[in-house]
Structure 1
């Protein structure tokens, strides 16, 4: 979305709806000056919110950590649906971002919608030089302090990739800059455990549940770079990406079979999970 399209969209700020271009936030708010806040990015299709209750629960945990308050779950959902209608997305797909920023003793809550980004059907990935701190106070929080992820992704794109994979400070595989990471080896789905410092992704959780329903072995554990190089298949997950096969890492090809585990999960995800709400 270009600047003109973005500015023409309406946004919701603390119960009031107005043009994005004139939405006002205090220049002294800690959410702006210090990045004290949290956010969620949700995928919406024909007014169906992908796992909204899961997003709200994670946002609530993050809010408690950074010290902001949220609208009640029903009020927030209604505000999102009303904004979707105002911006004309009720019969299409869109991305919704809910951000909560600290402003002294109060909270600024902003809801914004945008067109779904156009992506390639697969991902080329590189290793970021930046590491996730698994001991950080923000582990598990989708924090507004997102600069490291932004820089990692920008540098990956400069190298011709569309996602940066990151290790934690212990040298374990952790996550993508904007996604969770899964490997497949000998029919077993593997993903870094939450102790690695990775975000407890909503799509990640859905994939783990799907593996159980499809009787696909799935294990959350410590993973290393050698296992990424040696895997049979690999994929990324996020609410916006859904299940996104990785076809290369650092220029080395990863083959995802059209009849493999990733394809099976993709089909099940689209049929069951995405249309569940």
Structure 2
């Protein structure tokens, strides 16, 4: 699995990309390259997972890899690498980067090159494209700062879309909503689903506390099946329920949660929201119980 490049400055980001020649190359994320024919680059035809790393150990890796596998199958992609390949690469990335604190590991799986120009995929009797795998390990400090949000007026999640259920490379809508939020003086945007209910943030699932219980929108809203969201449901600490903007404004607390952090919502539009002490403790509890 070793390729070019030596040890990088302590705590710096490092990346690895699959061969085939040589069988995997290490280097600076700014210098490693994808072929211009890669469908992940041309068409956002790929999937990724972002995993929290603590003291060299990936948190909830099995859950991330399972979502990766299920998403690839649903999109007709070849199965992505499993833990037997990811763990040794992660260990080498930690050693090469000198990471000693927390970090973020991004795993990327593209349909690759070789399928020809345009959207069309080769038929079953035609030569198939070769999938491409690469990863990046970066220093990261989990975020917990309360945020101000708006409800996006320009972007919505498509509740009926297969792609909405998968963590693909296509984040153009989220980027547009985030730009809208920043232009309005907010930190992030909440997205509605195609049915008009609250769905999620641009890169996190939404949780509201109502009558002492944590609630999250159902998958039918169009939200991504987030790993931390799924952990909360599996432990019985979170339940699904359709949510409106009015529910948010009347909530006891509201969180944007993902694998890299948990941010309480302190304001939505012009309305201040309650941020009780310990509002973000749920995130730590979900990790501790894994």
Which TM-score band (shorter chain)? Answer: 0.7 to 0.9
- State the match for 2:82 in structure 1: 72
CA contact (8 A) 2:263 2:280 kept: no
The 1:263/1:72 distance shift into structure 2, 3 A limit, reads: closer
Select 1:265's aligned residue among 251, 265, 282. 282
Q: Distance in 2 between matches of 1:257 and 1:147?
A: 33
Structure 2 residue corresponding to 1:108, chosen from 129, 132, 142? 132
- Would the alpha carbon gap of residues 181 and 69 (structure 1) be closer, same or farther in structure 2, given more than 3 Å must change? same
Name the SS for the 1:22 alignment partner. Answer: coil
Matches within 5 A, 1:156-235: 156-210=181-235, 212=236, 218-235=238-255
Q: CA deviation at 1:127?
A: 0.8
2:98 is aligned to 88
Normalization by structure 2: what TM-score? 0.82
Deviation at 1:137, TM superposition (A): 2.4
Q: Secondary structure at the match of 1:78?
A: helix
SS of the residue 2:163 aligns to: coil
Q: Report Cα offsets for 1:129-164 as digits up to 9, x if no partner.
A: 210001112031001111111221232223222221
How far has the Cα of 1:188 moved from its partner? 2.0
Q: Distance in 1 between matches of 2:95 and 2:253?
A: 39
Aligned-pair CA distance for 1:267: 5.3
Corresponding pairs, count: 258
2:33 aligns with one of 24, 28, 41: 24
Deviations 1:143-186 (A, max 9, x none): 11111112212322232222210001110111111000011111
The alignment partner of 1:43 has SS state of: strand
More helix by share: 1
State TM-score, norm by structure 1.
0.86
Structure 1: runs of 5+ lacking an equivalent? none
Over residues 201-248 of structure 1, what are the superposed CA-to-partner deviations in whole Å (9 max), with x where a residue is unaligned? 1111223345x3xxx5x420211121112112111110111x321111
Contact 1:96 1:112 in 2 (8 A): yes
Tell me the residue number matched to 2:14.
10
Structure 2: how far apart are the matches of 1:139 and 1:76? 25
Deviation for aligned residue 1:39: 0.4
Matched-pair contact (CA < 8 Å) for 2:101–2:139: no
Q: Does 1:49 align with 2:58?
A: yes
| Rg comparison, structure with higher value | 2
Provide the aligned C-alpha RMSD in A: 2.0
1:245 paired to 2:264: yes
Q: Do structure 1's residue 122 and structure 2's residue 146 form an aligned pair?
A: yes
Kept after mapping to 1: 8 A contact 2:146/2:264: yes
Pairing 1:153–2:170 present: no
